[in-house]
Structure 1
Amino acid sequence: MLMPTLKPIPIDTKNKTFWQKVWILLTCVRNWELVDDWVFIMPCGTLIVIPRGFVMDGASTPRFMWGLLDPVGILLIQGIIHDYGYRYNYLWAVDGKGCRYKYHEGQGREFWDKIFLEVGLHVNEMQITGYLSWLMLRLFGGKAWEENRIRNAPELLPQ
């Protein structure tokens, strides 16, 4: 499996008050940008492409769970795919002729949460971690889904 190349996005703490910096320390999550298009073969065999320039935070795991479910550790691969699915409600896929198309466009939150679980089980082969992270996602992911519907992010195209 080819791993994605990620660039950390700086967290702005310059010219902040002490208490603002404490708040950032306790609540802020680092974002990461894909440096290149990233190709992944889904468990079903579909080749997907997440375009370069996509910015994500990994799996939006509640901070108290990071010791067990690191958002850019064991959850990285399914987190990238899931974050893209949440943002755009589709993934870019490539067919046998090399043509790209929108994979499962418009399927909704429950579908992307299921993809998170399937990819996690496929990549990590860890049932407990897979189901625990999926449960956290089902319990706490609604806000992120709704925020992405409002965000209406500009479309990114694979190269």
Structure 2
Amino acid sequence: MKGAPGGKSKGYSYTETSCLYNRIAVPSGFTYDGASVPRIAWSITGIRPDGLLRAAAAVHDWIYQWKGQLPRGSHAFRIDEFPWQDAIGRWRRKDCDRLFGRMMREAGVPSIKRKMAYLAVRLLGGLSW
């Protein structure tokens, strides 16, 4: 992924692991705004739309663009060592926002910044959904 504050995706895949694996694939060339952080908020909150936040923002924006109903091939799952299968169903906005928070945590975004970004998508994300 390149460019700040957003840019075009070079492609990204996030895999969540447990006994059930989920994979979200953001295609190469997907344009996103890098977490929609207004410039004025950069200095106030310390949250910038790049760096550790970037991958979480790309996946979050991808799911939001489709209002949770991802196109075929974008979301797959598998159980243990079985082959990947296309996932059927729609993401709820709340679950998409939770994934955003989880990906930020796994990327090492500091707790206070992560909580502010999560709260912002919960409060304002409905405008884009």
TM-score, with structure 2 as normaliser? 0.73
Of 58, 62, 83, which aligns to 2:61? Answer: 83
- The answer on 1:124 being equivalent to 2:100 is no
Classify 1:142/1:30 alpha carbon distance in 2 versus 1 (closer, same or farther; 3 Å): same
Q: Contact 1:50–1:92 at 8 Å: present in 2 too?
A: no
Counterpart of 2:14, as a letter, is F
What is the CA-CA distance between 1:120 and the residue it aligns to? 0.8
Deviations 1:37-91 (A, max 9, x none): 3222236553332111211111112332223111122311110110011112145
Which residues of structure 1 form unaligned runs of 5+? 9-28, 146-159
Q: Distance in 2 between matches of 1:63 and 1:70?
A: 8
Q: Distance in 1 between matches of 2:15 and 2:85?
A: 14
Question: How many residues are matched?
Answer: 118
Q: Distance in 2 between matches of 1:53 and 1:98?
A: 27
Give the SS at the match of 2:96. helix
Which residues of structure 2 form unaligned runs of 5+? none
Output aligned runs, 1:8-157, within 5 Å: 8=3, 31-35=6-10, 37-42=11-16, 44=18, 45-67=21-43, 68-88=46-66, 89=68, 90=70, 91-93=74-76, 95=78, 96=81, 99-102=84-87, 105-124=89-108, 126-145=110-129
Classify 1:69/1:62 alpha carbon distance in 2 versus 1 (closer, same or farther; 3 Å): same
Measured on the aligned residues, the alpha-carbon RMSD in Å equals 2.6
Aligned match of 1:22: none
TM-score, with structure 1 as normaliser? 0.61
Taking only the aligned residue pairs, the percentage that are identical comes to: 24
Classify 1:32/1:97 alpha carbon distance in 2 versus 1 (closer, same or farther; 3 Å): farther
Classify 1:64/1:121 alpha carbon distance in 2 versus 1 (closer, same or farther; 3 Å): same
